[in-house]
Amino acid sequence: MKIAVITGGSSGIGLATAELFAEKGYLVYALSRRGGESSGNVRHLVCDVTDEAQVQSVFAEIFMRHGQIDVLVNNAGFGISVAVELTDDAQAKKQFDVNFFGCFHCCKAAVPLMRKTGHGVIVNVSSMAAALSIPFQSFYSASKSAINALTLALANEVKPFGIKVCALMPGDVKTGFTAVREKAQDPRGVYGKTLQNSVAVMERDEQNGMPPRALAKAILRLSQQKRPRPLSTAGAQYHVFALLQKALPASLVNRIVGEIYAK
């Protein structure tokens, strides 16, 4: 039985992915800060990905039990919505601690274990916001862009050991992510209704987005491909967005994004 470790596994994309992998015969360890009720081939473990020592301990325990970790899906994350000048250091660091350093901690724990068995796949859940930086989600966009950079570098570093690394950049997905987004206030009204409208557009698009199961299927496909693309998207419209982002001048792309999210 293959072993999959999935972070952010208590809800949304992570839970849907854990359930799908379990259906396909994997024994899945779903990691999250609050844990969950284990059932069938899905075992929930409490693990805060921002705590490197805890991450190392959990991965070592899983490897000790089974002698292998075949797939790691780095999905844990959250978002903040705030103008750059209104963001304090604590908010920015928290965003990177969860989204980027959480991913880094898990990769750092998994790679030596995968190297011992000579195989393994790491799928990092990034975002289209990594390629199309969203106004008032600057630090979320930056953290996801950092994941892409980490993915590309790590893929080349571990290729000689039989380990594959890739990132999936989803667009809008309908999950509980929307409800837990942290929103900063604009007490002086510097940005007027622009900030409010931007958040409203994001939340509307998310709640009309793809179901988590669709992303789970994309993650499963990537994990099973012989040569997965290092960066890929899910959903036909997001493939188009990715192509346009590459084909059009950056100034034009950024202007279009601004028209959508910063009116």
Q: Which segments of the chain does DSSP mark as H helices, in order? A: 12-23, 52-66, 89-96, 102-117, 138-158, 177-180, 192-207, 212-224, 236-247, 250-261
Name the catalytic one among 29, 32, 138, 140. 140
Residue 132 is classified by DSSP as: S
Residues 6+ apart with CB under 8 A from 19: 42, 216
Verify whether residue 10 is a known catalytic residue: yes
Residue 28, classed as helix, strand or coil, is strand
Structure tokens at 34: 């609050």
- Determine how β-strand 182-183 pairs with β-strand 163-169: unpaired
**CA–CA separation, 112 and 114 (whole Å):** 6
Annotation marks residue 11 as catalytic: no
Answer yes or no: 138 catalytic: no
Residue tagged active-site, from 126, 127, 141, 223: 126
Q: Is 144 a catalytic residue?
A: yes
Catalytic residue selected from 10, 143, 198, 232: 10
State the DSSP code for 137. Answer: B
**Of the listed 32, 127, 144, 164, which one is catalytic?**
144
| Sequence-separated (6 or more) residues with CB below 8 Å from residue 13 | 75, 125, 170, 173, 175, 212, 215, 216, 219
Element (H, E) at 229: none
Give dist(CA 169, CA 123) in Å, integer.
11
Give catalytic residue positions: 10, 126, 140, 144
